[in-house]
């Protein structure tokens, strides 16, 4: 079981990662975890597995329950919270991708889904707590996420990006300098974490400007080189080519439509 929940504070800073395998192995008789707000002294939150900060008063003491069913899928259900969470689906078959998690109706979680919890301390551009669900073993990434007929392939050994079109024609592009460093770093993280992995802005800044250089760098410094990568792809392969790198607002960057070899 490789499923885990990556939790981000408002503003995009990673709070913690929770691996379901280790959490459920600690309590073999239970196949679920409870998410909620912790108590200052910890006296009354012993049944809460993932504890968010006590000062987050818009999050209930017991807010959500994620359960592993016998089918092998995880389902999320509201626990009579005051401010129900929103579920943003990574894959949408009918155009709707945001649902309110409330009442008795459970929702099946799929790889890349995000749970959004209101914060008492919102940050402009990223006002909620974001709980990113990843389950690479049990949920395959379907073609709905990648609607384009073109598919990128990035080779880690040669550091070359290939474009495979519907006619099976293969074209290639080799980035240089800072652009190569960005593409290669994101690709390596995708290889380690899965196709939908988002590289946080701060991690990418530290990679590009190590040590003290990173102190005065912000997301504004990332935009020109990332935009330059997508522009270079567009110039070589045309406007119909999908963006190689997507910005996930408030969190970081991920590869789009790309297989890492």
**In this structure, what CATH number is given to the domain that contains residue 207?**
1.10.10.10
Q: Considering its fold, how many domains does the chain have in total?
A: 2
Please tell me the predicted confidence (pLDDT) of residue 73.
86
**Residue 161's pLDDT band (cuts 50, 70, 90):** very high
Q: Which CATH number goes with the domain that contains 12?
A: 2.60.200.20
Pair 87, 164 in one domain: no
Question: Can you point out the beta strands (E) in the chain?
Answer: 4-8, 14-19, 32-37, 50-52, 64-68, 74-78, 85-88, 98-101, 107-108, 114-123, 126-134, 151-155, 160-164, 170-173, 199-200, 245-248, 252-255, 258-260
Q: Which domain holds residue 113?
A: 4-134
Pair 163, 94 in one domain: no
139 in a structural domain:
no
Average pLDDT, the chain: 84
**Structure pTM?**
0.54
Pair 214, 109 in one domain: no
Where does residue 259 fall: left (phi above 0), alpha (psi -120 to 50 degrees), or beta otherwise? beta
Pair 36, 125 in one domain: yes
**Residue 5's pLDDT band (cuts 50, 70, 90):** very high
pLDDT of 186 over the 60 cut: yes
pLDDT of 245 over the 80 cut: yes
Please tell me the predicted confidence (pLDDT) of residue 43.
60
Residues 137-158: tens digit of each pLDDT: 654 444 333 334 467 899 999 9
Pair 91, 176 in one domain: no
For tokens 């990035």, the residue is 154
Least confident of 30-39, 137-146, 215-224, 244-253: 137-146
pLDDT of 212 over the 70 cut: yes
Closest CA to 104 of 74, 59, 65: 65
pLDDT of 21 over the 50 cut: yes
Least confident of 33-47, 138-152, 208-222, 228-242: 138-152
Compute the half-sphere exposure of residue 191: CA atoms within 13 Å on the CB side of its CA: 13
Pair 164, 75 in one domain: no
Asked if 70 and 94 count as a contact pair (C-beta separation under 8 A), the reply is no
Pair 160, 255 in one domain: yes
The residue with greater pLDDT, 168 or 190, is 190
pLDDT of 213 over the 50 cut: yes
144 in a structural domain:
no
pLDDT of 22 over the 90 cut: no
10 in a structural domain:
yes
Pair 109, 51 in one domain: yes
Pair 124, 159 in one domain: no
Residues 95-152: tens digit of each pLDDT: 457 888 998 889 999 888 999 999 998 886 678 999 999 987 654 444 333 334 467 8
141 in a structural domain:
no
pLDDT of 178 over the 90 cut: yes
Please tell me the predicted confidence (pLDDT) of residue 148.
45
Pair 8, 123 in one domain: yes
39 in a structural domain:
yes
Cross-strand bridge partners of residue 233: none
Pair 73, 180 in one domain: no
């Amino acid at each position: 079981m490789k499923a885990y929940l990556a939790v981000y504070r408002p503003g995009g800073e990673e709070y913690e990662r929770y691996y379901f395998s280790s959490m459920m192995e600690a309590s073999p008789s239970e196949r679920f975890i409870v998410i909620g707000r912790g108590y200052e002294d910890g006296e009354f939150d012993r049944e809460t597995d993932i504890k968010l900060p006590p000062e987050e008063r818009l999050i209930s003491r017991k807010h959500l329950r994620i359960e592993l069913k016998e089918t092998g899928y995880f389902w999320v259900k509201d626990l009579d919270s005051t401010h129900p969470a929103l579920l943003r689906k990574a894959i949408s078959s009918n155009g709707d991708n945001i649902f309110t998690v409330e009442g008795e109706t459970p929702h099946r979680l799929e790889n890349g889904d995000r749970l959004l919890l209101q914060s008492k301390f919102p940050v402009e551009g990223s006002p909620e707590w974001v709980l990113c669900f990843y389950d690479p073993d049990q949920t395959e990434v379907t073609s709905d996420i990648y609607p384009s007929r073109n598919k990128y392939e990035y080779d880690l050994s040669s550091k070359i990006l290939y474009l495979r079109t519907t006619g099976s024609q293969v074209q290639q592009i080799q980035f240089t300098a800072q652009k190569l460093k960005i593409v290669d770093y994101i690709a390596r993280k995708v290889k380690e974490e899965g196709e939908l992995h988002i590289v946080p802005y701060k991690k990418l800044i530290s990679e590009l400007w190590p040590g003290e250089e990173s102190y005065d760098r912000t997301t504004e410094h990332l935009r020109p080189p990332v935009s330059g990568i997508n522009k270079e792809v567009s110039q070589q392969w045309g406007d119909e080519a999908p963006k190689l790198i997507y910005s996930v607002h408030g969190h970081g960057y991920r590869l789009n439509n790309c297989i890492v070899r």
